[in-house]
Structure formats: structure tokens, C-alpha cells
Amino acid sequence: MLSDIVENILAGSLRAAARLIRKIDDGAPEATECLKRLYPHSGNAFVIGLTGPPGVGKSTLTDALIEEIRKQGKTVGVLAVDPSSPFSGGAILGDRIRMQRHATDEGVFIRSMATRGEFGGITAATRGAVVVMDVMGKDFVLVETVGVGQDELDIARIADTTIIVLAPGLGDSIQAIKAGILEIGDLFVINKADLNGAEKTEQEIKAMIDMGQSTVLEQDNWIPSVVKTVANRLQGIDLLWSEIDRHRHYFTGNVSPQFLKRKRFNLKLELIEMVKQRLVDSLLKKMDDEGELEQAVEQILEKQTDPYTLSEKILKKLV
């Protein structure tokens, strides 16, 4: 019964939450119905997003933040977006394996979600999973993106604080600047700061912030800070948490026109993406059920038509 699932999650049931998140990840219709009932109860957890290039230690940093949050006496949910298995389509679970030391802590709830071929660092199901962790009573929700490269910008749509994680000596900071990923950062972390080049990376990031090329500067008076950490030794984590807390108080207390504009913009993008996903899934399922998709592929393969013409026909049918 949907009502039982909803009631159990509102009561903080880990088992019910895990089952629903699995259904959300699989795109089950009943998951949407549950989310409709849960959404009015959401909005209490503070969502922290961690993104950045692969190899910078995002999982280790997330693990260290879990420990810091628990030291504060707060509960935490973690969504680790992992690459999809090429065989099962499920998450490879690498991030969750790294955080196993928290597995017996009832105040910590960790789930992995598969990318399922999606770009942007998170999945369409991530928002729903965040809602579930929120309404089950978690104080904080950490969302770690898959780490596929320079285009992980979607995290800024769902996170209250977006942390860009970089590391010295790997060229990450330069690549991030090229890609524009700095534009979404509320905080910047130079992890593995014990390596050569940490000071240079810090100078580059601060220079970008000073040049005013970060759209974060349009969010009223907030100026991103840069924190150096060595997450596997827990160095700098207390300072990072202090900066997160500072941004949290700024975030929750800010009602300026610029800030509200940002919220509306992010919600609009989320709604558009949800509608697009529903339309595409509905159309493709109908075509697949009726055999039109395979027929279209054969027509292109035999040069009877081209994908551009067929895509236009499909779009006209949808409209």
C-alpha cells in the first residue's frame, strides 16, 4: 500500500526509504505516486552537493564530512551517483564501498544511484531520492556526483550549497575554468593540498573569483571561499564545515530578489527537465511497443530515409 510506504518513510524507516529509492531509480510508476504524497513534507534537510573532476578525492571528502556531521550530533543521508554497470545498468557501488565504516551508524543512510547513461553528474531520479532522505528526517543530505568530467552542472539545481572539489598537479583547475564549472560553486575545496601545486591552484581559483566571472557573485553579496583539505587525514575538514555552516546561514536567511530569482530559475529548470523526460519516455515506449522504433532503425540502415527526417516526423506526431 502506498499509504503504508509513505507513513513508514515519514517515521524514518530506512528499509522503506531504501525500497522507494530503488523504485525511483528504476522508474517505477508507484514511485511517482509516493513522491507526490511525500513532497509537501520536504524542505527541512540542507542539501550539500560535491562535484568536480575524477581523481580529486570526492568520495574521501564526502566520507570525512559524514564524520564531521555526526560529531555535530546531526543525521545525514548520502547519495553517491556512480557509473552504470554496462551489464546490469545498475550502480557500480564504488562510492558506497568506500563509506562502509559508517554502515552500522543509524544516523547515516547511504545509497548509490546509477547514471544510466545520463550526463550532468547526477540522474533524473536524484531529486526524488533527495526528497525521500529529506522527509525521513535527515538533517543534511550529501550528493556526490559521478565525477565524469567538466559538465557536472546539474547539481547546482538541487543543492543548497554546491562545493567544487579540485586537486593540485592534475590540471583540474585550468580545465574547470575552461568549462565554466566555477560558475556554480558556492565553495571551492582544494583536496590533496599536501601535494605540490596547491598554492598555485588556490591562486588561480581566487583570481577567477576576484575577476567576477563566477555567477555566484550575482547571488547578492556571497563571495565563494577556497578551503584546502587533506581528506584522508581529516585535515581542513573542520574549516570546511565552518564555511559550509556560514553559507547555510546565509542561504537560509537570504530573501533578496537575486536569491529568490536563483531559486525560481532552478525550480523552472527542474520542471522543464522533468517534463522533457516524461515526454521522451512516453513517446519512446509507445514507439517501442508498436514496433515503430525498430522499423525506423531499419529504414535508416537501408538508406530509405535519414535520422533527421525521421526525427522530424516523430516530433510532429508528438505535437
CA distance 249 to 254: 8
**166, 52 Cβ separation under 8 angstroms:** yes
Domain at 220, CATH number: 3.40.50.300
Cell numbers that stand for 21 in this block: 529509492
Assess whether 296 and 185 both reside in one domain.
no
Residue 79, strand partner residues: 111, 143
The helix-helix angle for 126-135 and 2-10 (nearest 10°) equals 60
Query: Residue-wise pLDDT tens for the chain (319 aa)?
Result: 778 999 999 999 999 999 999 999 888 889 999 999 999 999 999 999 998 888 899 999 999 999 999 999 999 999 988 665 444 444 445 445 556 677 778 899 999 887 654 544 466 688 899 999 999 999 999 999 876 444 456 788 889 999 999 999 766 556 655 556 667 889 999 999 999 999 998 998 888 887 765 444 455 578 899 999 999 999 999 999 999 999 999 888 877 676 777 778 878 888 888 888 888 888 888 888 888 888 889 999 999 999 999 888 887 876 6
CA distance 306 to 317: 17
pLDDT for 282 equals: 83
Count: domains in the chain: 2
pLDDT for 142 equals: 97
**52, 164 Cβ separation under 8 angstroms:** yes
Phi, psi of 47 (to 5 degrees): -100, 125
**Residue 71 Cα distances to 13, 107, 108, 241, 280, angstroms:** 22, 11, 12, 11, 45
CA distance 266 to 36: 19
Q: Where does a domain end: 205, 221, 254?
A: 254
pLDDT for 230 equals: 97
Fill in the amino acid letter for 162: T
CA distance 264 to 268: 6
pLDDT for 173 equals: 57
Assess whether 299 and 172 both reside in one domain.
no
Assess whether 275 and 205 both reside in one domain.
no
- Which residues touch 236 (CB under 8 Å, ≥6 apart)? 193, 227, 228, 229, 230
Assess whether 85 and 194 both reside in one domain.
yes
Nearest CA-CA partner of 186 in 260, 244, 146? 244
CA distance 80 to 13: 20
Assess whether 193 and 279 both reside in one domain.
no
Q: Is 36 within the bounds of a domain?
A: no
pLDDT for 100 equals: 67
In this structure, the strands spanning 225-228 and 187-190 are parallel
Q: Is 31 within the bounds of a domain?
A: no
Assess whether 121 and 233 both reside in one domain.
yes
Residue 187, strand partner residues: 163, 225
Assess whether 182 and 282 both reside in one domain.
no
Assess whether 312 and 220 both reside in one domain.
no
Q: Is 158 within the bounds of a domain?
A: yes
Range of the domain at 276: 268-318
pLDDT for 120 equals: 43
